[in-house]
Amino acid sequence: MSSQTDLPSHVRAIVDEIESEIGERDLPIDDITGSRSETSNDGHARPGDGRVEAAVREILLEIGEDPDRQGLERTPERVHRMYTELTAGYHVDPERLINGAIFDVAYSEMVIVKDIPFYSLCEHHLLPFFGTAAVAYIPRGRVIGLSKIPRIVEMYARRLQVQERLTQQIAEFLQERLAPQGVGVVMEATHLCAAMRGVRKPGTIMTTSSVLGLFRTRDRTRSEFLDHLARSAPRA
C-alpha cells in the first residue's frame, strides 16, 4: 500500500474524506470556516469566538445533562462544526459554482435531472428534512453543465429552510441564469419534525413543486415532466 505522500493532492482529499468524517476531524473552527475569532464590523460574533459552544453548553444544562461528562465534553465544539457544515450554502458564490458552465447549444427539448439526494434543516425546529429533487428545464439555446444542477440544489439545501421556499429558489435560480422556456422542480422529503415530535407520523412524505414558463402555462409540458418522474431510472 502506498503512503499518502505518494498520492496526487486531489486523491489525498478523497482519501481524507473517506477516512475522517468531516464533523469529527480535529480541526479548529477557524480552519473550517476561514474566519478569525473576533467581532466583525457589524458587531456580530464571527465563528470561533465560543458563543455557539457556550450556547450548546447551556442547552445541555437546561435539559438536565452534565456537559463535563466524558461523552459530552466535546459536544459543543462538534455541534458548532456540524452547523457550520450544514449551513455552508449561505457562503457559496453562485458565480464560482457555475464557473462558466453555461453553453450555447441548439437544443430545445426537455432536460431532466432527477433522484438528486438532498439534506436540509427545518428553520422552525432545526431538525433535518431530506429526500430527493427532480429538476427540469426546456432550453432556449443555452444549457448548463450536468453537475451544476445537483450543486444548485446543494447550495440552497445547506441553509435553514422550509421545503416550499427551497423548491422555489432552485427553480428561480435556473430561470434567472438560463432564461429557458420553462423550469420545473419537484421535491419529496421526510421531515423529522413530523416524525420525531409533534404528530409523530414516521413515513410521511411532503411533496412540493415549482413550475415556471411552459411548465406552468402548457398542460402537455407539465404532464410530460410528471410522466418522466413516474418512470424508474435505469441503474448502473
Examine the residue annotation and report whether 123 is marked as an active-site residue of this protein. Answer: yes
Out of 125, 172, 175, 228, which one is annotated catalytic?
125
Examine the residue annotation and report whether 10 is marked as an active-site residue of this protein. Answer: no
Examine the residue annotation and report whether 124 is marked as an active-site residue of this protein. Answer: yes
Examine the residue annotation and report whether 191 is marked as an active-site residue of this protein. Answer: yes
Examine the residue annotation and report whether 122 is marked as an active-site residue of this protein. Answer: yes
Out of 4, 58, 73, 124, which one is annotated catalytic?
124
Out of 73, 123, 164, 176, which one is annotated catalytic?
123
Out of 53, 161, 181, 191, which one is annotated catalytic?
191
Out of 65, 77, 168, 193, which one is annotated catalytic?
193
Query: In three state form, how does the secondary structure of the chain look?
Result: CCCHHHCCHHHHHHHHHHHCCHHHCCCCHHHHHCCCCCECCCCCECCCCCHHHHHHHHHHHHCCCCCCCCCCCCHHHHHHHHHHHHCHHHHCCHHHHHCCCEEECCCCCCEEEEEEEEEEEECCCCCEEEEEEEEEEECCCEEECCCHHHHHHHHHHCCEECHHHHHHHHHHHHHHHHCCCEEEEEEEEEEHHHHCCCCCCCCCCEEEEEEEEHHHHCHHHHHHHHHHHHCCCCCC
Out of 53, 122, 154, 161, which one is annotated catalytic?
122
Out of 163, 169, 181, 224, which one is annotated catalytic?
163
Instruction: List residues with catalytic annotation.
Output: 122-125, 163, 191, 193
